[in-house]
Amino acid sequence: MRMNNHYDAIIIGAGAAGLFCAFNIAKNQKRVLVLDHANKVGKKILMSGGGRCNFTNLNTMYDDFTSENPHFVKSALNQYTAYDFLSLVEKHNIEYVEKNVGQLFCKNSSKDILKMLLDECSSVAVKIFKKCEIKKIKKSTQFVLTTSIDSYSCDSLVIATGGLSIPTLGASGYGYTIAEQFGHRLVETNASLVPFTLPDKILKRIKELAGVSLRVSVSNKKFDIEEDMLFTHRGLSGPAILKLSAYWKFGEEIVIDLLPSINLSDFLKTERLKHPDKSLINSLSTIIPKRLVEFICVDITDELKLKQIDKPVIDKLERSVHTWTLTPSGTEGYRTAEVTSGGVSTEQISSKTLESKIEDNLYFIGEVLDVTGQLGGYNFQWAWSSAWCAAQSIK
């Protein structure tokens, strides 16, 4: 092994967590190498947030994450907060906007965040090799990596390979393979923060609703959320559905309230007193998108007036509007999932340093771990926090 092929730390994965960890290690006068099999670095950063990168959430809390061990995230999130990362963003004069409460996006482009990470890496001489396939990893006193470019050795090895989400951006399960090689247990992985697909029978009924969006309350036995929902050609999407998907299991029913802020029965009674000759459909169309009203009232004639509706009609409408119950056929899978749930079990990882409890100087950070944040910048904050903690441990 040539001397110049030895590094203090090698990081596998040039995404958010990997790049952030790299320059924070190198700031301690360490030689750092980042290896990635893709032809470009930070692809997921560039496409996130519709190209604007929801890079953190100022309201990040522990219960915004799911894991076999729900307490695991506490130490890292306390050590490096959303405000710490925001200070770095401001240092680089990146303009940002707050959309929903606490959710920070780049004002211009996700490219600003990627450029910031690469500039920080460059300032401390981090080396980044792309199109690098890792063929074998061995450990004796040091880690030795045989790759498609050359062989490299290091004192510390950091796994920042992400999950299985969006394979077109280069996602792979290689990080899980490394974990298993060194004796780590894996928690079953699933696509998360992902749209639901619906059975053909239901899709035929709602095909005209594709593109309709409205605020709803959606729930299952574990979780409920009031957010926007979007009808698609394949099923249901939008923030409400993506957030629920993190808690949904295959075959489970979901309940949707299409009008969470208005009691339909009270609304109709009031309308009937004010406008008895107004048609039911026209009245409902003032509070629900017209195409959705036509779906709800498919068995009701257009001419039915408010003064003609009776209790059975109101009861039926209430069930259709406030407790629309259905069972998704599945999800759109890793192809469109924001993140991967499950991954490397946290039981054999230090929550303080992200170092393996089985293999000294082996670290796992970011999405490769069994830590899944909710929609809204939480997964990026986990990437920054976990990467920072690992970097502080490698001295």
- DSSP-assigned letters across all residues of 332-395: -GGGT-SEEEEEE-GGGB-TTT-BBSSSTTEEE-GGGBS-EEPTTTHHHHHHHHHHHHHHHH--
- Count Cβ atoms within 10 A of the Cβ of residue 329 and give its class: 0-12 exposed, 13-18 middle, 19 or more buried: middle
> Cα torsion for 259, 263, 264, 266, to the nearest 10°?
-160
Q: What is the pLDDT of residue 195?
A: 98
Q: N- to C-terminal Cα distance for the chain?
A: 23
Cα–Cα distance for residue pair 6/226, rounded to 1 Å? 52
Cα–Cα distance for residue pair 361/103, rounded to 1 Å? 34
Cα–Cα distance for residue pair 375/184, rounded to 1 Å? 28
Which residue ranges make up each domain of the chain? 3-190+342-393, 195-331
Chosen CATH of 3-190+342-393 out of 3.40.50.12590, 3.50.50.60, 3.40.309.10, 1.20.1270.10: 3.50.50.60
Q: For residue 220, give the nearest of 242, 200, 248 by alpha carbon.
A: 248
Collapsed DSSP state (helix, strand, coil) of residue 49: helix
Q: What is the pLDDT of residue 133?
A: 96
Is the pTM of the predicted complex or chain greater than 0.85? yes
Q: What is the CATH number of domain 195-331?
A: 2.40.30.10
Q: For residue 380, give the nearest of 123, 388, 185 by alpha carbon.
A: 388
Q: What is the CA 201 to chain-centroid distance, rounded?
A: 29
DSSP H helices, the chain, are: 16-26, 43-51, 73-79, 82-91, 111-123, 174-181, 200-206, 239-245, 264-274, 280-284, 290-296, 311-322, 378-393
Please, what are the averages of pLDDT over each run of 10 residues along the chain (395 residues)?
Answer: 85 98 97 96 94 97 95 98 98 96 96 98 98 96 96 98 89 94 97 97 93 97 95 97 95 97 95 94 95 91 88 93 97 95 97 98 98 97 98 94
Q: What is the pLDDT of residue 38?
A: 93
Letter for the amino acid at 201? K
Cα–Cα distance for residue pair 394/29, rounded to 1 Å? 11
Q: For residue 13, give the nearest of 31, 39, 38, 35 by alpha carbon.
A: 35
Q: Supply 300's token pair.
A: 């009701």
Q: How many other CB atoms are there within 10 angstroms of residue 274's CB atom?
A: 10
CB 72 within 8 A of CB 204: no
Letter for the amino acid at 257? D
* Matching residue, tokens 């040539």: 2
